[in-house]
Structure 1
Amino acid sequence: MTTIGSRIAPLAAIMATLTGAADDRNTLTIRGDGTMTMQVNGVDGRIRVDPSGLPRMICNPDFAVKAQIIAQGRAVLLTDPAEAYGSFGAVTLRLAGRTQQVRANWLSSRYVEGADCVIAPGMIGVDAARFVLRSSVRAERTVAMPLNPGGESSPDWNGAAATAVRIGDRDVSVGFTLAQPNTLVTARTALRISGAYGGRYAGEAVRTEAASGRERLLRRMVLAKPMPIGPVSISEMQVRVTDWGSARQIKRVGDVEAPADPNEVNVTARAEHEDTFERLMIGTDALRRCSAIVVDFRAQEIRLTCA
């Protein structure tokens, strides 16, 4: 069973979400896929503001050269169980009429497609970031969920705009991204979701390259009953089969459950990384019925408006 600390937003919050207007609020509005124009050290570029992006600015290496970013040290990004190494340097970022000093990170390989850099809304110095995904329609509702930076565990995830969902006996970090079409889940969380919602694999595993340049094994999992996250309903996801645990034991669609053996003795050992990182990242596939996402740092909540 999944529980989430969500509530129907008050009328004032709903109106602020739908109109983007708040008298005394410093709110940034981002449209479409989150990509905006920017300047880094006076050099023009494109940056993607991602609702639940890592709490740091990450650029592609070619743009770091173009913007003449001076490396001041080594950057270590833990976007997967394996660390990815790169460099960091201080830059002057101009975005949406705001100028600020931030630390830019870059790896040896490209990190973001369709833009030069990516940044989380919490790094822009605004009270709230409103992501407009499409025009609003009738029968929408706005649900507010508590902003839970970090959840239970990756150093790089700590500080990102996420909420928390209770699956079984564990709180799992749930984020929202406009940068990927599919909803992704780490291995151990996939096991929990499979048990709670009847998840089964459909199709074979596929090897893809992660943003860090590391190879990743993904496999599609469909759910027997939809998993609700606020106003969003998830019926399938891509499982990161060997990231942060292993989800190889999830059954396939059509597999027959073996009858329980009353004489069988189950021995359970505590895994070395049992308390490791658990994350569900909701992609644009599950957000297609949503018109807006508001990450509100002042109210400490994430608001989703969906049909």
Structure 2
Amino acid sequence: MSSPETLAEQFESNREHLKSVAYRMLGSLSEADDAVQETWLRLNRSGTDQIENLRAWLTTVVSRICLDTLRSRKIKREESLEAHFTDTFESYDAESSPEAEALLADSVGVALLVVLDHLKPSERITFVLHDIFSIPFNKIASILGKSEIATRKIASRARRRVHGADTRKASDFEHKHELVDAFLTAARKGDFDRLLDVLHPNVVLRDDRQTGTIRTTKGAKALANQVIGRAQAAQIALINGSIGVIAAPYGKLLYSIQFKMTKEKITEIDLISSPTRLKELEIEVVNL
């Protein structure tokens, strides 16, 4: 039997991988930490004598723990994040943890976390393990307690929900992406002139952040003054099949932005923060 020191060393060499898997499955750093800790406790009780592939064993265990967590979650809401974002495009300071920042900055992105949050537990587990971590379907099937054929169908269904239709076929898809990206970049960098360049002189912003009302801002200069230096938490995503923006700090959807635009300018912006309205939106990951 492995000594306690050796067992701890073997686990620590896999900790980052386990944290990465758990975070994508649960969308919460604290819950991911709990899942990894529970995995360590189970390993400590089991030892490694009968384990041929430790990394695979640990991945299976943490996945089952995450699946149980997803299935047992009660419908509840954490304290609203709106208190921390009192203005329309309030700036966002990430947690100081380098580990947290690395998880958010990687190729997966916060848009995917928002989409994954709308999947069924089995869909989320299957998508994360297969499409992100390349775990074989037969291994995932044993975690879900389903056949491999059923698991493949779950993966296909999850993939459609994540990526949706191939909107890249639209002739102006990339142009709209570039225009919205230019808007966000200018807002973050405080580039007032560039903001005016992408906004129509008579642009209109409709913002529902005032309970029961919709605040309207008219004109490029007024809107540019409102967003300058902000939008730090905003990321491009597909909203109802069109290029839009979501703000989802650590996977928690705060607001969405939908655009209307001409060939060269943004003409209308609708900011939606109402939980009821957000639930009605179909959000997908952008694939250029």
Per the shorter chain, which TM-score range?
A: under 0.3
Q: Kindly name which structure, 1 or 2, has the bigger radius of gyration based on alpha carbons.
A: 2
With a CA cutoff of 8 Å and minimum separation of 6, indicate the structure with the bigger relative contact order.
1
Between Structure 1 and Structure 2, the one with more helix by share is: 2
TM-score by length of 1: 0.23
TM-score by length of 2: 0.24
